[in-house]
Chains A and B, each alone.
Chain A
Amino acid sequence: MLLSTAIVAALVGIAGVHLAHRAKNPATRVHLALWSLAVIPVSLSVCALSLSGRFSVGNPFCDDCPTGTLASLVFSFGATALSLALLVGLLRIALLTHILRRGLFPAPAHLQGRADDLARRAGGREVPVLLFGSEMPVACTWGLVGPRVVLSTWMVENLDMEELEAVLAHELAHALGRDCPTIWLATLLRDATFYLPWAWQARRAVITGKELLADDAAVAATGRPVALASAIAKVWQRSLLEPPFPAGTALQLSEAGSGLQMRIERLLGPEAAGNERGSEASRPVSTTGRFGPAAPAQLLVFSLALVAVCSLV
């Protein structure tokens, strides 16, 4: 039963990643990718619990099936993997905090004022904007709790005000959409599944989906898709000369693997123009597509069903 659950969960995960990469709607892309990442650990946990007798979804036709040793082994192995992934995740946060805390200073009043204005229009709380002196092109949202927008001085010196405002709106969308915890969770699940290729793909799909949603939110808030495309292109160009910042769990504007060319083309295309028109109705700056409160329950039910079906095999 354990093996069949693992195989079926893996197949579901791979299919989910495939569908996520093909999904046109960024929110669907994020949702499917997160499901794909979570389905194996959750299903195997349910299966192990079931086999160990602590949780009954066992095979109703097989009362004498061997339980105990194997289940304990799987349970211990899974718990160790998850603990290690959690440790690595916490270390990443500590390292990033250490790097970013050195030399951070508050943004000038006009920049913070613009960010506050955008946040107010979105109906969200004000998000602190911090700067740090660097020739690297950095714009990121950082912090699992109480996120902050961090910009390097290169951004302020090399982007014009329209581009900078679009970047702020993009980063605010991440902050107000609580995207950092989602990416952290996706990274943790990727680590917990021992960096299987599909887990990398799934995490990348989550990041791409989040970036697309933040792009849409920024366009809706500012009505300037070309300015955002310009900012991303400038950051991309600069990143080719200056290696990008090791963001870890922070979400960067030019996140590696988020399909920068695709995002720019999308912002220059008719789809972005549609979003721009949406801005007239003062659409809020927020991203959807995160793991909502109902998702863990859905996943648990799905895993229970999966294990129950596999126990019949």
Chain B
Amino acid sequence: MGEHTEPSAFHPNRAGIRKVLGDLEAEVLELVWERSGESGVTARDLYEELRQRRPIAYTTVMTTMQRLHKKGLLECDRQEQAYVYSPRMDREQFIERFVGRILDDLLASFSGATLSHLSSAADPGERERVAELLARIVERRQRGEA
């Protein structure tokens, strides 16, 4: 197996695993995880599923899976005439890995600020409570309540 390229881009405004992966990469990886109980999936399997959602080329799916393999997120085995892909890590392991990678990078570059923010986020529940209250308040003010 060749050298893997880790996901390197981080998009803070995007949701879920799309923070570190492209849209199609994320979609393909999600599908591979969904089918992780199977012995593996081929590019053809995913192509058949994705084309039901929108028009897409087989080569696009194949290229995306190869890219995920290069990034070290998918295993690739040649079985008979086809390449069979399976996830190298489950969703939790992947999230843990990219969160750790981002935090390590932040700590290396801005250790003081990162540690300060981590300590202030000691109670994530409190942040959620404030965010929820603010959302309610914004909604009520938009309805014209003073």
Contact = CB atoms under 8 A, between A and B. Distances in A.
B146 A233 contact: no
A236 B130 contact: yes
Interface string A259-292: 0010011001000000010000000000000000
Contacts of B134: 230, 233-234, 237
Given A230-B137, A268-B137, A224 B130 contact: no
Contacts, number: 46
B120 A264 contact: no
Interface string A213-234: 0000000001111110110011
Contacts of A223: 146
A30 to B, nearest CB: 25
Interface residues of B, number: 17
Question: B-side binding surface: helix, strand, loop or mixed?
Answer: helix
A227 B133 contact: no
Contact of B140 (A226, A236, A243): A226
A243 B120 contact: yes
Contact of B130 (A226, A233, A243, A268): A233
A153 B79 CA distance: 67
Contacts of A276: 146
Nearest to A228: B146
Contact of B133 (A162, A222, A225, A261): A261
A229 B126 contact: no
A230 B140 CA distance: 10
Given A225-B146, A226-B141, A227-B146, A237 B136 contact: no
B117 A241 contact: yes
A265 B137 CA distance: 10
Contacts of B126: 240
B146 A162 contact: yes
Using C-beta atoms within 8 Å of the partner chain, give the interface range for chain A.
20 to 34
A227 to B, nearest CB: 6
B50 to A, nearest CB: 40
Interface string A103-132: 000000000000000000000000000000
B121 interface: yes
A270 to B, nearest CB: 13
B129 interface: yes
Contacts of A268: 133, 136-137, 140
A223 B145 CA distance: 10
Contacts of B136: 268
Contact of A230 (B120, B121, B131, B141): B141
A233 B132 CA distance: 10
Nearest to B123: A240
B144 to A, nearest CB: 10
A243 B141 CA distance: 28
A224 B146 contact: yes
Contacts of B141: 226-227, 230
Nearest to A242: B120
Nearest to A273: B145
5 contacts: A226-B140, A237-B131, A264-B137, A268-B136, A268-B137
Interface of B: 117, 120-121, 126-127, 129-131, 133-134, 136-138, 140-141, 145-146
Task: Rank and list the top 7 A-B pairs by shortest CB-CB distance, nearest first.
Answer: A224-B146, A237-B130, A230-B137, A233-B134, A226-B145, A233-B133, A226-B140
